[in-house]
Structures are given as structure tokens and as C-alpha cells.
Amino acid sequence: MEGSAVEYIWATLKTHMVMEEYVSKNFEDHPAFASVITRFVTNNNIQSNVSDLSTRVDKLESGLKNLKGRVDNIFNRLDKLDKKVFGD
């Protein structure tokens, strides 16, 4: 029973030492959190960039479709004009 009391006291003191370390580094500056926070920020930044890039690609594809339609229309008009001017 005496050993258990010593273990509890040691665990309590050790917990307070660890808590003091986290508090002194304002939690987010503690090395145990730094890698997690860095990973979180990096992942969110990458996801945001991928989403933005995907939106831009969609807009480009839409613009290319529109441009293709206009070019096709111009070629059709040129073909009609060619037939009128030069015949078959």
C-alpha cells in the first residue's frame, strides 16, 4: 500500500511538471504541438490551393469550349462564303 501512495505522488508531481512545461510555452509553442500545428496549417493551405486551382481549371475549360464554338462558327461562315464566291 505504501508503494502505491509513492507512485501516485510521483505521478501527480510529474504531471504538474509536464503541465508547467506546456503552460510556459503557451501550449502551441511546445514541440509536441508544433509538428501537429504545422501539419494542420500545411494541409489546409494545400487543400485551399488545390480547390482554387480546380476552380481555375474549370473556368479555363469553360472558356475553351466557348472559344471552340466561336472558331467553329467562323470556319462555317468562311466555308459558306467560299462556296458563294468560288462555287462548288
Q: Tell me: the pLDDT tens digits for 4-27? A: 888 989 999 999 998 898 888 887
Residues 30-83 have pLDDT tens digits of: 888 778 888 888 888 888 888 889 999 999 999 999 999 999 999 999 999 999
Cβ–Cβ < 8 Å for 22, 30: yes
State the pLDDT at residue 1.
53
DSSP-assigned states of every residue in 54-76: HHHHHHHHHHHHHHHHHHHHHHH
- Residue 15 gets which letter from DSSP? H
- Record the cell numbers describing residue 74, joined without a space: 467562323
State the pLDDT at residue 72.
95
Cβ–Cβ < 8 Å for 76, 84: no
State the pLDDT at residue 27.
78
Q: Which residues contact 21 (CB under 8 A, 6 or more apart)?
A: 30
